[in-house]
Amino acid sequence: MTLAIGIVIGILLVAFALFASEKFTVDKTAFFILVSLLIFGIVTPEEAVSGFSDNAVLTILCLMIIAISLEKNGVVALMAKKIIPITKYPLWFFLPLLMITVGFLSSFVATTAVVIIFIKLINELDKQGKVDRSRVLLPISFAGILGGSCTLMGTSTNLIVSDISRKSGIGRFDFFEFSAAGAIFLLVSIPIIYLLSKKFLPRTPPVEDSGNNKYEYVTAVKIKSDSKLIGKKANETDLWSENNIRLVKIQRGRRHLKIDLQSQILQENDILWLDMTLEDLTTHTESLGVSLLGVDQDLIEEHLTNEYHEVIVLPGSRYINMTIEEFNTSLPDNVKVKGVSRDKKLKNHGSYFNKFVSKKYLIPGNRVLLSGDLNEIQKIARDNNLLFANTVITDPYIPTYKKLISLLAIVMVVILAATNTFSILKSCLLGVGLCLFTGCVQLKDAYAGINWQVIFLLAGMIPLGVAMKNTGTDVYIAEHLYTVLRSVPTSVTVSIIFAFTVLMSGFVSNNATAIIIAPIVIAVSAKMGLNPKPLLYAVMFGANFSFYTPMGYQTNAIIYGLGIYKFKHFLIIGGVLSIVLLILASILLPMLYL
């Protein structure tokens, strides 16, 4: 062993300890690796920062932006809502179908984005008593991981292993090259996950619906350019129907229309002051084509949101005896008043609007609907005697063309990459360009939505692969592994690699695991005279299949953080699933790809 190899192995061991202990965030640990390699002169400064221009990292960055466009424009949410009708069926039918849906979507859209959408959807269905979220969330997380392993763009790990393969001269992976194995893993896993979930997952009663949606609010909305209200009289629209919406006033420029509202022809940019239930707010905002302004008539577009938080004024609050306008003005810039529960005593008063907004004083028991930074709102509630009551997520108004273009972008990427018309990086860059130049996603939204921790993790870890190759560390480790593996069948070799990768990915980031193990496996396959593809697939699938701990994969960490599951649920269900997949991989990968 040379000194350089010893240094690289030492850095590897320290990095593994830091990853497993979670003493630092994964990106900070990756930066430690990068700096350590520079200090010891193992890599040049140019090699140290090469990860930031790596094809795989740039591809992942582009896919994140396209996923942001799909999520922001409601494409994934729209697809997710299509499964609501099947919740009426028994769990044995509903849950497997749900897992297949999540798995399919995760094959083409970032797994984490898909699972987060379904978490919101399942929580809402749980409130309605249609599903028990404790029986569903862990299975959909596992299904997302399995589905993401089916195509080249399904997870960042797939792209990383493909890029390592390309740099080693083996060649990059085709889009659907390993999809057959991925689909078999998914289909075999679904009944196992269902049976284990039925036996071991906890049952929880539905989240109580406190009836908050029955409370009525006074708020203001602005008619958007393509609203179906434009050109119609108010009494010809949903503003005058059997629902609970009541039109109080129309504000048109500097004019305030308060009488003969039924016959007023509505125009673009009209501000309508409405008395409506929270239920109508959540169900009619998008269909009417309006933006919820609240009490701030001068609200600019960037402050619009589709997430609202109810607070109740308690005795002793400093906001008691403040007017609504004063309350709104007293809040930080990143929090806005969207509505206030109406005062029934003033409902039929002739100057209802003026009294309500500018003269009504807040009293204990009033409900206020706020939008803005959730942490800030919770802090305001704690410090000022407000009871944080409820969070409501509405369907944002999104023009149809944005949904279609966002969907077209991902379809275009899949077709161009799958047919080898362009490389996946070039295809993704075209998809991002389409989303940006048509306004489907803004750069500020992209900057805010990109998971920079993953980008810096990859950029920091890639120089480690360079260092292993430069110093011969990969060959050194491969030679020692060769003495163990040379006399065993290929299926056993695949099993050992798969098992070690799965074990490691339970405590170390799946991307970091792949970056460390893939170069070693390539060197082992060369030493043994084997086709490296099945062994690389074992690394790729093994790194993705982080089922037995909640920290192995981001989606598992998210649902674990909800407080529904304990570590043992991942250990039991994920452990059994990992063993089954280990046996299946040792048979399937050599059979399909040798």
CB 30 within 8 A of CB 463: no
CB 222 within 8 A of CB 254: no
505 to 19, 400, 548: CA distances (angstroms): 10, 41, 10
What's the pLDDT tens digit per position in 215-256? 677 888 888 887 888 888 887 877 765 556 777 788 887 777
Does a structural domain hold residue 212?
no
Does a structural domain hold residue 264?
yes
Q: Is 580 helix (H, G, I), strand (E, B) or coil?
A: helix
What's the pLDDT tens digit per position in 325-379? 788 888 887 788 888 876 655 444 444 455 555 566 777 778 888 887 777 888 8
Does a structural domain hold residue 316?
yes
Q: Which of 47-56, 302-311, 320-329 is least confident?
A: 302-311
Helix axes of 111-127 and 91-106: crossing angle, nearest 10 degrees? 150
Residue 585 has pLDDT above 80, yes or no: yes
Distance CA 509, CA 20 (A): 9
Q: Which of 44-53, 315-324, 393-402, 498-507 is least confident?
A: 393-402
CB 91 within 8 A of CB 99: no
- pLDDT value of position 357: 56
Does a structural domain hold residue 286?
yes
CB 576 within 8 A of CB 570: no
Owner of token pair 């065993």: 488
Task: Report residue 85's pLDDT band, with 50, 70 and 90 as the boundaries.
Answer: confident
Residue 205 has pLDDT above 60, yes or no: no
Owner of token pair 């003493």: 23
Which of 219, 347, 348 is CA-nearest to residue 294?
A: 219
Does a structural domain hold residue 263?
yes
Residue 541 has pLDDT above 50, yes or no: yes
Which of 206, 208, 211, 207 is CA-nearest to residue 310?
A: 211
Alpha helices in 257-384 (DSSP H): 278-288, 324-330, 352-354, 374-383
Mean pLDDT across 486-500: 88
Does a structural domain hold residue 591?
no
Max Cα separation, the chain?
A: 93
Does a structural domain hold residue 257?
yes
Count: domains in the chain: 1
Distance CA 384, CA 314 (A): 9
What's the pLDDT tens digit per position in 259-292? 777 788 888 888 888 877 776 776 677 677 787 7
Does a structural domain hold residue 274?
yes
For residues 547, 497, 147 and 580, what is the CA-based torsion angle, rounded to 10 degrees? -60
Domain limits for position 295: 225-393
Alpha helices in 3-50 (DSSP H): 3-21, 26-39, 45-48
Retrieve residue 328's tokens.
Answer: 């709104």
What's the pLDDT tens digit per position in 518-528? 999 999 998 88
